[in-house]
A and B are shown apart, each in its own frame.
Chain A
Amino acid sequence: DIQMTQSPSTLSASVGDRVTITCRASQSISSWLAWYQQKPGKAPNLLIYKASSLDSGVPSRFSGSGSGTEFTLTISSLQPDDFATYYCQQYDSYSYTFGQGTKLEIK
């Protein structure tokens, strides 16, 4: 199976900050990568697919980049609603796998 590793595991930041979360795949997955946001007690919500395509209704402060094995999710200016856990997911092959998650906390 393809392993997905996110860093950092926890990130402390303030409203207005620019933050970046990294996701690394154990082998090349082209651009078959998605990002999700999850708030406590809620289902995950799709933010980005195919590494850089913003899902409908997702604010433009979210952006994704990368290909192959290295990917990033960037939030350009943190808003109070953005404090949550973020997961990357590869969908290059069946046996889809997620990263372990990055918890974005208020500093």
Chain B
Amino acid sequence: EVQLLESGGGLVQPGGSLRLSCAASGFTFSTSVMTWVRQAPGKGLEWLSLISGTGGATKYADSVKGRYTISRDNSKNTLYLEMNSLRAEDTAVYYCVKGGGQLSHWYFGLWGRGTLVTVSS
């Protein structure tokens, strides 16, 4: 079964750090572009970051550039998102998503269930 399963969410204080993981199964992870998308409570969707299949290329939204780092371990079929200097406005459900498409044109074809990150003191 094709599946993405996020973990690592939880409650963190402002200024703190958190690392999210996403375990992939059922498809060839090492050749798949992967992304993170978040959704604040009651709000819309926001793309955060993208990583190529090899991990050699990464892209970030301006809102998280310099604070978040995307990475992957293809030997473990796992995607990561390291989040630092967290703010209240980072509170959201974070989704791991498999990209579909080509070159720089990636839509979001397969979504995990999401993991909730709450930034609060």
Contacts and interface: CB of A to CB of B under 8 A. Distances in A.
Interface of A: 1, 32, 34, 36, 42-46, 49-50, 55, 87, 89, 91-101
Contacts of B108: 34, 36, 44, 46, 89
B61 to A, nearest CB: 6
27 contacts: A32-B105, A34-B107, A34-B108, A36-B45, A36-B108, A42-B113, A43-B113, A43-B114, A46-B107, A46-B111, A49-B109, A87-B44, A87-B45, A89-B45, A94-B50, A94-B59, A94-B104, A95-B61, A96-B106, A97-B47, A98-B44, A98-B45, A98-B47, A99-B44, A100-B44, A101-B44, A101-B45
A43 B100 contact: no
A37 B32 CA distance: 23
Contacts of B45: 36, 44, 87, 89, 98, 101
Interface string B11-43: 000000000000000000000000000000000
B53 interface: no
A6 to B, nearest CB: 9
B112 interface: yes
B65 to A, nearest CB: 10
Given A43-B112, A89-B47, 9 more contacts: A43-B113, A44-B95, A87-B44, A87-B45, A89-B107, A94-B50, A95-B47, A98-B44, A101-B44
Chain B contact surface mostly: strand
B61 A46 contact: no
Contacts of A49: 100-101, 107, 109
Interface residues of B, number: 22
Contacts of A32: 105
Contacts of B112: 43
Contacts of B106: 91, 96
A105 B101 CA distance: 31
Contacts of B50: 94
Contacts of B95: 43-44
A95 B62 contact: yes
Interface in B66-114: 95, 100-101, 104-114
